[in-house]
Chains A and B, each alone.
Chain A
Amino acid sequence: MEDYFLTRFQRKTRIELQRIVDNQEHFQPEAVLAATKLLNKKLSEQALPILDEAAYPTRDEKLKVDRLSLSLDYRPFFRTLSYRELLTSISIALFGLAIIGIINYYSDERFFKDVHSIWRGHTILFVFLANHIIYRYEHKRSNNFLGRSINDLFLLVSLMLLAISYKFIIGGTYDFRIGNGVLGIIILVSVITMSIFSFEIGLGLLKMLLKKIRCQIF
């Protein structure tokens, strides 16, 4: 079986072979093995690094940017961007809204008394964190700072759109106005961007800490 794949992949380029190795969950083990062998062969012949340097920085650069997980390289994220990210954002946003719905529904109960706002806050925090955790396990690699920030933006937009749609469907009103025209929009975008970046700097620190204790989850 492996020979079959070795023959079949003979004409594939280095990038195509790398893609098979990166997405091995979608291929038969023999195919992955064959792709790895061919890739190693091609690399030894050409003496080139395994991966695109721009997407994967050299060891020294990697150490520098990864110290705080603050890499601003957008290519790794966009290279693998697909419907999966969209589905993750939608599913997690819906899950977050459902949890918040339950918290609101039971907000006057004894077990939520005085703490329902804290629960709501924690739920929001959890969905953003879960987004990164799923990304890591789905892509079998950790997302960098910029990738995480873009992912956060997807989730935030999904949350807002779904919340507005839900209110609309159940017959509620959603009073969302931006004052001061263009200036208001600029301020809003700046606030959102700064909030996401601040949040991700925090997460970068957490990620560094988790790496040190060998418990990296995102």
Chain B
Amino acid sequence: MSNFLRLKLTLIVGSISILTLIPLFESNFNAPVTMHRWKQLDWDDFQGFVKPFTGWGAGISSDIFIEFDSIQGKFSAYAAMNNQSSWKRIEAMDSKYTLNHEQYHFNITEYHARKLNQLIKKKNLSNESEVNSELYALRSELRKMQVKYDTESDHSLKRAFQRMWEYKIDSMLNETEDYPLFQENGNIEVFFPDKPQVLLFSLEDEKFTGHILEKYDALFWIIDMNFSSTDTSAIESFAASTLAENGLSDILVYRDLLKENVIFDSKSKDTLKNEIVVDKWFLGNNTTYWLRNRHPIGEENEEIYKRMGDQFFNSFKVLEE
């Protein structure tokens, strides 16, 4: 056998082996697959074969699928993850942070599945090829967003960017959610990217109610202060002393930059928790609202967290009575 023939046969056998092994690795050697619909994931959902020589802790395979309800005669889309193509390394199993990164990949898929459902509804699509055409377009968009998420967060290694993406994805997923706030006098609107908890807050023996969201290494709250006043100097003095009493330092009060119904605006530091605290007091119809955003100190990440806080503050609206 000539050397060239030997070389060519070696190339053919070697290449076919590689081309066979790749799909086998990806499907965990054709193990039975369970497709998990969108949910909160845990590590047991990752059953796949660990990618050889990988530098990452885990990988998720999720996609959008179409189903047809023959009774209603309607198409609908759903997001699902393939448990045999999703894998984790044993070392990663202690990390909730890594699992959270993968969860948000799944959330991106869910967002696009919802988007497709909206399109089906809006365009009243009842033909399979029309639905598939929209699906292909959305899949391309989905892939781009997944890559962008991984690139910007560096596969979750850049913590601040990871948190920014979580905020962004939650905001997109919950865009249409309407969380009821202050039901008794519900005449304001403020955007929380995820469902806030009810907050009971005490100040000088007085109790106040509000809503709080602690997520993305940040805190967002809104408290109803149960008073209405336009005496900005008195409010400033009260608010600043409250901040100081709560152990905050380097309190900066912005008087000249007050906008619309903002009656107090400050930025301070919590040196104990190493956090920046931004407070804004807004004038409502019959009361005053205290909005707060806390986030970690860090020059590089300051802008990212500031953007989240600004979005929270800017979303505050007083509704017409």
Contact = CB atoms under 8 A, between A and B. Distances in A.
Q: Among B7, B8, B23, B26, which residue has the most Cβ atoms of chain A within 10 A? A: B8
Nearest to B136: A175
Interface stretch (B10-18, B257-265, B294-302): B10-18
A90 B56 contact: no
Interface in A88-114: 88, 90-92, 94-95, 97-98, 101-102, 105-106, 108-111, 113-114
A22 interface: no
A114 B152 CA distance: 12
Interface residues of B, number: 26
A98 B19 contact: yes
A102 B18 contact: yes
B73 interface: no
A137 interface: yes
B2 A105 contact: no
A87 B150 contact: no
B14 A87 contact: no
B5 A25 contact: no
A97 B11 CA distance: 11
A170 interface: yes
Interface string B1-34: 0101101110110111011001101100000000
Nearest to B59: A108
**Which size class do A's interface residues fall under?**
20 to 34
A98 B16 CA distance: 7
Interface in B137-158: 150-151, 155
A138 B6 CA distance: 12
A108 B56 contact: yes
B112 interface: no
A208 to B, nearest CB: 26
Given A91-B12, A94-B12, A101 B4 contact: no
A166 interface: yes
Given A95-B15, A98-B15, A105 B8 contact: no
Given A87-B5, A92-B11, A170-B23, A98 B18 contact: yes
Contacts of A102: 18, 22
A91 B5 CA distance: 10
A101 to B, nearest CB: 5
B58 to A, nearest CB: 12
Contact of A109 (B5, B7, B8, B56): B56
A14 B11 CA distance: 37
A211 interface: no
Interface in A51-106: 84, 87-88, 90-92, 94-95, 97-98, 101-102, 105-106
B280 interface: no
A156 interface: no
B88 interface: no
Given A25-B2, A94-B16, A105 B11 contact: no
Contacts of A87: 5, 8
Interface of A: 25, 84, 87-88, 90-92, 94-95, 97-98, 101-102, 105-106, 108-111, 113-114, 134, 137-138, 166, 170
- Top 8 closest A-B pairs, CB basis? A94-B15, A98-B15, A91-B8, A98-B18, A91-B11, A170-B23, A95-B11, A95-B15
9 contacts: A84-B4, A90-B8, A91-B7, A91-B11, A91-B15, A98-B14, A101-B22, A102-B18, A114-B151
Given A87-B5, A106-B51, 11 more contacts: A87-B8, A91-B8, A98-B18, A98-B19, A102-B18, A102-B22, A105-B25, A106-B54, A110-B55, A134-B4, A170-B23
